Structure 1
């Protein structure tokens, strides 16, 4: 299946001084509308605080009404944003060429002077981190049918990115705060600033480790090995979070219960997985289906990346079209096994932590879930960028 680029008509010219490097990049993009700063300022009522729907290290997100009547989420990057020019252009390049029910839709962007703004479709129900896992009050009740729909939708979106989009796309930051929900609670994968494109002719990618602690696959977090299986690990963690209504890490719990994957593995061995299902459901759920979802979560988070199923198979297992071979479930790569990874300045490791860039930057996960980009140190204590083998089967 090929991608379906979409167009918003003739580009709008801007006349203020702008970054020539960005301008050169934008000139090669055919499917993105270029907004003026003036029209976005008008759409958001001069970026009124009353229209702000999100805040993070990247800047702010405002709800706005465009001239054509469309309601938009206007993502304004601050001058000190941790999302640099490269990430800004990556997000535009990736999302402008793809369209899927379970991916956010890019309306356009604005580049004037030092202004960098992305304009997305507005999604009424914020992120999973804010609504399902957030500590704040939410008027949404996530019954089992809704959770099942969300899990399958995210899986389908990832399967599209990994297997149908050309070139293939590794998101690198799948997590609860990057899953936005529309009016019907249909999930949309967002924030493609860290995404990597994998053309079919490439056998490997060279990249710094980037993502969110708690969702990072062990082989990627420690050795910098990036394949699509890193996304699949992240999805597995998210899948377990959605079923249980719990964050991947909670340091307020007793030591033995702080890491959700560890608890899931232990209860799986005891054949008591059903006890993990969110108590807020009050027993109103399909126990067989819930346990199947948790087993898929374990399959996706196995320590050996080659054992993790590809996303199209994950979709089939979640929908019941494919049986789960439990003999293939092995111990997951535990978050606690690499939480003490050395990330110190001056020790050959370059760190860069940024807040979530979903509509609301606050996440239900504790301080362990910072998004980060770093190069791992070698035995000679020098900063290194890993070259990870990329196998089409991974």
Structure 2
């Protein structure tokens, strides 16, 4: 099968490509404008197995169409997007253009050029903020929960979901899987063996990880602090209606999320289109995550409490029963210490 991966040089896309190269024989084409993706990531992936790379921005509509016309693409896995919530509040037009408009054209081209399967990288931000009376770590959002985003990022993704659903229904030939990510973190689980004084030692050495500049994700920022790349970090609000006053999120290791994409490809061979949450079904507060990062690294770093950020819901925890039962998805790294440790080990060597 020939698979097109948009944004395949980026954080999540590269981990999916890594598993495609390691565990499948599919022919892979990566399309990326390298605005946040890295050439060094592509070089690392090349060391696993060869693939085709095309440097292109999805806003180049005619070029995107040409790629689909001349390649017999059976499956598209679409990651390319802007993903920073505060930025989406400040510059909503950027998010609607890059996320919704570009995705709409890609979906249109896919439908018109015989693409059978479309796997879409979506987000739990489409759910917005749960009702106050149910905002606690025990409440879990399932796929039927009402979608009502509270920021332009969430809306841009939800609109793209609708375009994909309506286009697939109208054409009748293309199927889709929409994966709604909760908070993705961590880096490539890869161990390297060393021999020191005739003794073998196995050390976690991620080959790829999150290299996004000016990242806003909590575990990424905490790992940068532990690695000495930031002087301090901020907690945005400690007055939420949670046990310790800070926001609660469901964190999923990027390799487990990548596995969900591989399973989605197989799922679409025999099953109809559907939507799935991707998370572990448990929540951790901002303070808990920071404490775990300090514990696994043994490094104390400065943390300062600041005001709330606009567009941040208090609690977002997934109900993941559906993806587990439908795809037989069994997470391997459902452990906050492993997530933090892998993120930190990547950050120590990342440039």
TM range (shorter): under 0.3
TM-score (norm 2): 0.25
Between structures 1 and 2, the one with greater strand share: 2
TM-score between the two structures when normalised by the length of structure 1? 0.23
More helix per residue: 1 or 2? 2
